[in-house]
Structure 1
Amino acid sequence: MQDQAQSNAKPAGALAGLRVVDLTQMLAGPFCTQILADHGADVIKVEAMTGDGTRVTGPFCADDTLKDFGGYFQSVNRNKRSIALDLKTSTGREILHRLIDKADIVVENFRAGVMDRLGFAYETLRQTNPRLIYGTVRGFGDPRSGESPYAQWPAYDVVSQAMGGMMGITGPDRCTPTKIGPGVGDTIPALMLCIGILAAVNRVRETGQGQFVDVAMTDAVLAMCERIVYQNSYTGEVAAPEGNRHPLLCPFGLFRARDGHVSIACATDAFWEKLAVAIGRADMATDPDFATNAARVQRQQQVIEAIEAFTSVRTKEEIATALGGKVPFGPVYTSAEIFEDRHYAVREMLVDVEQPGSTKPVKIAGVPIKLSDTPGAVRRRAPMLGEHTDEILGGIGYADDLIQALKEQHVVA
């Protein structure tokens, strides 16, 4: 593999040497390939001539006159290189074939059958690149792994959250299912796909043979909601929204503070004893009606009232002083409070990157997986549309004059 073009001298990540052809757009696919890029893989983002649809989504900086991309695109496409191809042309498809033949991994999130119709079925590509790992993330999976009756349904985050069971156990009461705030119906499947791809990478090193990696968004969400499966199987219970409580543990949830809310999670009786003492209710630590988790679950409202008698008259900072380090505890943060907390600074989780078209840098979320010897990193901002077309095509043997001719023919940009 060719050396990756990088903007600074940060150490190469653990996946350096892997080349990924990224045909994804929106959130699930790009989030997966960004994780690979964060850890050193050379990710070539292949876009339509008009670019990934999230480029125009925003938000944009107030002084950004270029508007090549906004916050959405910047947040999930860092560390990648971009080439724009017209896959409606035979020449554009030929270029893509050459890119894939030199790649270790291809990832796409089109509807089932789209790539097959373009001539890029996994079975076709593996004939010339038997080591190829072909990763897909779709709403209801690929028919190769089991054809869902919904295989042709389009899907976004809210669809997989709904059908995967997540919304059905989230909400203020049993009658009000609620969407989870972040796009976990996309990002959870993205993480699952990343794990699958890396498992396949390990297998290639052992056997020399690639394989097809398929993740359905709904399947991934259901896997994360595993509790609803065993509850139904063991007891016949159909789980429902429980607000900020837990059906099996108490106290375990959110509690009112004077300036917001805090989370407290006492999954053991030992933690409950420490909490009871800290809130001035040592009597509840030894009272048989509250001393065990099973007893507390039966008397959840009384437990909540006792805790909120303490928390509701104190600020989040005051509660942190009283409980922090003693029991599992955390204040419910706004994004502004996250920006102010030193934890996220020392963990490099708020990273400054250049925003083309703006005079000042912007912040995006950093790399959460910390490796001691081959750390992942935000090495460069998200790419402008076609920013790396020349170097990518040059890397697979296209001469400068031919690249210019392809641009004039609007095959590449």
Structure 2
Amino acid sequence: MKALDDIFVLDLSRILAGPWATQILGDLGADVVKVERPGRGDDTRGWGPPFLTDPETGAPGDASYYLCANRNKRSIALDISTPEGQETIRALAAKADVLVENYKVGGLKKYGLDYESLSKVNPGLVYCSITGFGQEGPLAGKAGYDFMIQAMGGMMSINGECDGLPGAGPQKVGIAMADLSTGLYATIAILAALHQRQRSGKGQYIDMALLDTQVAMLSNHATSYFISGKVPTRLGNGHATIVPYQSFPTEDGYLVIAVGNDGQFARLAAELGHPEWGSDARYSTNAARVGHRQELIPMIEAETRKRKSAELQAALESCVVPCGQINTVDQVFEEPQVKLRGLRQTVAHPHAGELSIGASPLRLSDSPITYDRPPPLVGQHTEEVLAEKLGR
């Protein structure tokens, strides 16, 4: 058994937030049918290089961007602008448990594929819309992309080097933070709606917005602003309310040191040759360290610069001070812990043979994640799905 192997998901989403949510549902066992435009399919199939290439012909295939968010799905090719395509979607939606879409506000209403229309043929349908700004408000009709949402939602204002230092200025996060977090929140909302349907017998409409999610992800920074009235600023790799909690220069690179309590700080101070810091009133508590950040951090840096990263990491680990090296992506997948946890998986791809994919982090003891389907080709399963679901 798989956790969601009785759930049929009709996936009308493209790009990243929607496909990320439906991939999670597929990983959990749901039957996810991805609806794509004939020929081109999902836009991200062309968002490269790099592209997956056919080992025999060398011809370029799908971009890695598409491949990261579409495993454990089947693909059907339909033109929903035609009456025939619309009728097929309605027929599939009548049998679906979940529908996920990320068209512009009102984009599917003109085809009769909006929630109001489809809930009449399937009152149990959980219908999730993902947009940049939600279904109402002055920006509702505006397209939303991750980069602009990180800017508008405050993420870039708190991410980047401090003013006055080299490289200072607002920075986006290197991954599509707004898209991915919206996909996660959408998955949570879908699962909650399915659970409620078990009691009510009714589906419901879910309105997910990238901006809403990005603002929610401000988390402690938002609450800090509400309480203090002070606008959070960029601190580089530092932390607004924990010190020391940042990267430190070493003789041969950098090491992240993440002190979470006063005991850990006392042990860090001792290992760096300054046990007196642990009892100094200016540094003995976290609140005091935050207040004296400007004098404490340079003193710590002066000591870490004398040690090689690996030697310092081993020493701090031996005295239970949290720390870690800054890995490049290739180094991540060579980490023994990453290998042991199976965070790189392979699936058989119809064109490329064996395809490496990043694994799901979900670990369920009785219904483990499996990787049964590689990211599909455009329309690869059209005949199969229509025969199975609609008898055509």
Taking structure 2 as the reference length, the TM-score comes to 0.93
1:252 Cα deviation from its structure 2 partner: 1.1
CA distance in structure 2 between the aligned counterparts of 1:280 and 1:353, rounded to whole angstroms: 51
SS in 1 for 2:89: helix
Aligned to 1:167: 156
1:49-84 Cα distance to aligned partner (Å, 9 max, x none): 121111122312465534341211111000000000
Match of 2:346 among 352, 361, 364: 352
Q: After alignment, is 172-181 or 307-316 more displaced?
A: 307-316
Partner of 1:279: 272
Residues 66 and 84 of structure 1: CA distance in aligned 2, closer, same or farther (over 3 Å): farther
Moved more, 15-24 or 328-337: 328-337
Q: Distance in 1 between matches of 2:364 and 2:5?
A: 14
- 1:60 to 1:315, Cα distance in 2 relative to 1, 3 A: farther
User: Displacement, 1:141?
Assistant: 0.9
Q: What amino acid sits opposite 1:96 in the alignment?
A: I
**Mean alpha-carbon deviation: is it higher for 198-207 or for 67-76?**
67-76
Tell me the percent identity: 39
Task: Tell me the CA shift for residue 272 of structure 1.
Answer: 0.7
| Contact 2:53–2:60 (CA under 8 A) maintained in structure 1 | no
The whole-number CA distance in structure 2 between the counterparts of 1:217 and 1:256 is 36
Does residue 257 of the first structure (1) align with residue 282 of the second (2)? no
SS in 2 for 1:114: coil
C-alpha distance 396-294 of structure 1, shift in aligned 2 (>3 A): closer
Pick the aligned partner of 1:43 from 19, 25, 32: 32
Matched-pair contact (CA < 8 Å) for 1:111–1:152 = yes
Say which SS state the counterpart of residue 354 (structure 1) adopts. Answer: strand
Comparing 154-163 and 78-87, the one that deviates more: 154-163
Q: Which residue of structure 1 aligns with residue 63 of structure 2?
A: 70
1:328 pairs with 2:322? yes
Q: Secondary structure at the match of 1:396?
A: helix
Q: Determine if the alignment matches structure 1 residue 60 to structure 2 residue 51.
A: yes
Deviates more, 1:256-265 or 1:377-386: 256-265
Q: Could you tell me whether the CA contact under 8 Å between 1:324 and 1:330 is conserved in 2?
A: no
1:220 lines up with 2:210 in the alignment: no
- Distance in 2 (CA, whole Å) between partners of 1:130 and 1:62 is 44
Q: Rate the CA distance shift 1:63–1:390 in 2: closer, same or farther, 3 A.
A: closer
Residue 347 of structure 1 aligns to which amino acid in structure 2?
R
Q: Structure 1: 5+ residue runs without aligned partners? A: 1-11, 400-413
The alignment status of 1:22 with 2:1, answered yes or no, reads no
Q: Which range is displaced more, 227-236 or 206-215?
A: 227-236
1:23 and 1:258 map into 2 onto residues whose CA distance is: 52
1:153 equivalent among 124, 138, 142: 142
Q: In the alignment, does 2:76 pair up with 1:83?
A: yes
Q: Could you tell me how far apart the structure 1 residues matched to 2:231 and 2:203 are?
A: 40
Query: Mean Cα displacement is larger for which, 81-90 or 377-386?
Result: 377-386
Matches within 5 A, 1:1-400: 12-49=1-38, 50-58=40-48, 59-61=50-52, 65-142=58-135, 147-174=136-163, 176-324=169-317, 326-358=320-352, 361-399=354-392
Which residue identity does 2:178 align to in structure 1? Answer: G
Distance 1:125 1:239, change over 3 A: same
Q: In the aligned structure 1, how far is the partner of 2:109 from the partner of 2:307?
A: 60
TM-score, reference length from structure 1: 0.89
Secondary structure at the counterpart of residue 394 of structure 1: helix
**Take 2:32 and 2:54, find their aligned partners in 1: how far apart are those partners?**
29
> What is the DSSP-based 3-state SS (H/G/I as helix, E as strand, rest coil) of the residue aligned with 2:62?
coil
